[in-house]
Amino acid sequence: MKVIFFLGTVDFLLSAISYIYYRQNFGFAKTWSFFFLYLFLAANTIGSRILPEATPLFIVKASSWLSGLWIAFMYYSVLLALFHGVLYLGSKLLNFNLPSFKIACAGFALVVGFIAWGTFRAFTPNVRTEEIATAKLPPNTSYKIVLVSDIHLGRILGNAYAKELVEKINAQQPDLVLLAGDMLDERIRYVEQEDSLSPLAKLNAPLGVYAAYGNHDYLDRPTLWQQMLEANNIKVLRDTSIIVENNLKITGLNDFSRNKSNASLEKLSAENEKYYSILIDHQPRKIEPASAAGYDLYVAGHTHTGQLYPNRLVTKKMYKLDYGRKEFGKMTAIVSNGYGFWGPPVRTEVRPEMVVITINSL
């Protein structure tokens, strides 16, 4: 209910501002037909999240697509209105006539084109590669890891999307796969309806598939969700560690939304010095404590780099590392901007990705 209330408030504010803007600049926006279409699209943003369980899946998907694209359209429409407003104030101060209709037309076309481009990008993820050398592995030892975060299986992203993800991961021939949280979007029932988890059981990683929980993984019956993941050959690490080949120690934390302290991180750091120690933490909020506790590799996701431009201006301020790779003392931190998306099926910030990490002995 908190999510629905938040989205409803944001949707109302964005819709109201953008409606006033379009009504001010376009004649067709003054008609009743436009008003009712606008009202339907705005209401669908919440309606798509409270559809009855018996609703056919194709209706759920259509409603979710409309909702997501509408949110992106409203967001950029408000930015357009603000930009136009600044130009208007400048024209008054400098005493010149502003071609408002032309600016509105050009702005509208730019908004639509930008969203179309972002929708294409959302479904064309990148493969980022990173290499790490360490003295903590035996000579001539190497591990290839695929890191994926923020898959967000649910109303929009389903079985076909999961199959494509598995094909791309398997093509990398990894030794192990790390899932850094938010495998689920919002509701388990949509995953069940489309059988979206079953493709992940076909991940080909000889040393295993390991996952930590993200904030979204707690939204709907987290114990059942863990059972479903593990039934599909995914080992869930919730404040637990596992030793792989007596060389790697993999630790997964409960998400920051459920455990803000560093107590588990520190407790689980015991014997870090004996292994190359990897920490999976969905939100990149504990990078420096992890470095101090002797972890060698810290992997995270969550940020989406803001997903919609220019929101990365915010995520850069929020986190020590919102995307990319950085060394913190002797520890390497790698943060992915995610493979899927939440809300709008649009990525106008950094392109979505999976990260292929090769760890070699010195």
Q: Where are the domains of the chain?
A: 2-121, 127-361
CA nearest 143: which of 88, 72, 206?
206
pLDDT tens sequence across 204-248:
999 999 999 999 999 999 999 999 999 999 999 999 999 999 999
What DSSP letter does each residue of 186-220 carry, written as one string? S-HHHHHHHT-SGGGGG---TT-EEE---GGGGSS
CA nearest 183: which of 145, 209, 144?
209
Q: Are 118 and 352 in contact (CB under 8 A)?
A: no
pLDDT tens sequence across 247-257:
999 999 999 99
Q: Please name the residue that has the structure tokens 């992106």.
A: 72
Confidence tier at 9 by pLDDT (50, 70, 90)? confident
pLDDT of residue 19: 94
Over residues 111-117, the mean pLDDT reads 98
246 CB-near residues (< 8 Å, 6+ apart)? 275
Q: Output the pTM of the full model.
A: 0.94
pLDDT of residue 2: 67
- In this model, does residue 10 exceed pLDDT 90? no
pLDDT of residue 13: 86
pLDDT tens sequence across 301-328:
999 999 999 999 999 999 999 999 999 9
CA distances from 183 to 256, 276, 356 (A): 16, 26, 18
Give the three-class secondary structure for 8.
Answer: helix
pLDDT of residue 70: 95
What CATH number has the domain spanning 127-361? Answer: 3.60.21.10
